[in-house]
Amino acid sequence: MNRITQTAFPARYIQGPGAISMLPSIVESFGKLQGLLIVDPFVHTNILPDLNISSPNLVVQVFGGECTQAEIDRLVEAGANVGCVIGLGGGKTLDTAKAVSFYLKVPIVISATAASTDAPTSARAVIYTDSGEVVKYLDLPRNPDVVLLDTSIIVKAPVRLLVSGMGDALSTYFEAESCRIKSAANSTCGAGHDHPGSLTSYVIASTCYKTLLQYGKVALVSAQAGAVTPAFEHVVEANTLMSGVGFESAGLGCAHAVHNGLSELQECHKYYHGEKVAIGVLTGLFFTDASQELMDEVYSFCESVGLPTTLADIGITDLTDEKLDIVANRTVFAEESIHNELKPVSAAAIKAALLAANMEGQRRKQMKRGLV
């Protein structure tokens, strides 16, 4: 019997240099009430004064630094009479804004200042303790009403953030393809994670991968030059919209499960989400028995943009069986997305794939240095 499919999108996606100038009119489109603008502290000091978006329709609140329930409650009280919420800044600022809009029951506008993950388009916020441990995932009933990306702001972010976003986006096609073949449930939060994605979501995931391969290196050079080029725009869109719709509506698999395993190790904590996901992608190539041609393509891409290809690249310089076991055992937890893959899942299989992926990364580095 055919299953019901579900695909989720933000209601509007706006991207380009100077796009932030549309913010006052967007707020007005939601009615006569003011908008609550929740701003990252760095953005408030270093970016907001130059944006020329001051308006009597905007009430500015500086984000406290951690997406805790107490911070959410504070901002809900501050926005008791607003008609919408705007999040401007990085991931935790945006998650806080999503949560505040949820409790206020008003529209949400998300404006990321870096293209480092695909979270801006999603219907989820992560709530933390004061010390940074995850408390819960807040699944929202709908995706953002507006996602607004000003690429003249994003191009000024550290280049490593863009590269990390490419690492996150790199996983989208591979995980989606496993979910498509298996008809696995996707990650659409409002639907209770019960439905597979539509053909549209799988096509978007495939286009995401093709976009990275075609434009990733040029986008990196553009970011290094501080230049908003067409290639830079394409990769920002791939990192954010394509990967966002892809992961949420097509589904997750090996790469993000391995990321969660790697996050158990203290030495990996200082590395970005997409950097660890990239190792998960390479591990997944060995776990799923990918062809040598595909492995060469993916490793070459990672090398060309500076994504990690060995465990040492994400801080694991003292590799032990104990550490591998920690990662592998966490990767195969019953609730993990690794079970969307087509191969039988075991900690031993993940450990073997990690070791092989790491060795291949080392071999390629040695070849480049002329040591092999």
List residues with catalytic annotation: 168, 256, 259, 273
**Do the beta carbons of residue 98 and residue 108 sit within 8 Å?**
yes
Q: What is the dihedral of CA 122, 127, 132, 135, to 10 degrees?
A: -120
Got the DSSP string for 163-212? HHHHHHHHHHHHHHHHHHHHT-----GGGTT--PPPHHHHHHHHHHHHHH
- From the list 149, 145, 102, the residue with the least C-alpha distance to 127 is 102
β-pairing verdict for 134-139 and 124-128: antiparallel
Give the span between the Cα atoms of 108 and 79, in whole angstroms.
12
Helix spans in the chain (H): 23-29, 41-46, 69-78, 91-104, 151-154, 159-182, 199-225, 230-237, 243-250, 254-262, 273-287, 292-305, 321-331, 347-368
Instruction: Using alpha carbons, list the distances in angstroms from residue 335 to 17, 31, 127, 252, 363.
Output: 41, 42, 19, 12, 34
Name residues whose C-beta falls within 8 Å of residue 350's C-beta, 6 or more positions apart in sequence. 258, 261, 283, 287, 327, 328, 331, 332, 338
- The owner of tokens 């190539």 is 285
Positive or negative torsion for Cα 69, 73, 79, 83: positive
Instruction: Using alpha carbons, list the distances in angstroms from residue 200 to 177, 192, 246, 249.
Output: 12, 20, 9, 9
Q: In the β-sheet with 58-62, what is the strand arrangement from edge to edge? A: 12-16, 146-150, 108-112, 84-89, 35-39, 58-62
Name residues whose C-beta falls within 8 Å of residue 37's C-beta, 6 or more positions apart in sequence. 58, 59, 60, 61, 86, 88
Give the span between the Cα atoms of 288 and 346, in whole angstroms.
13
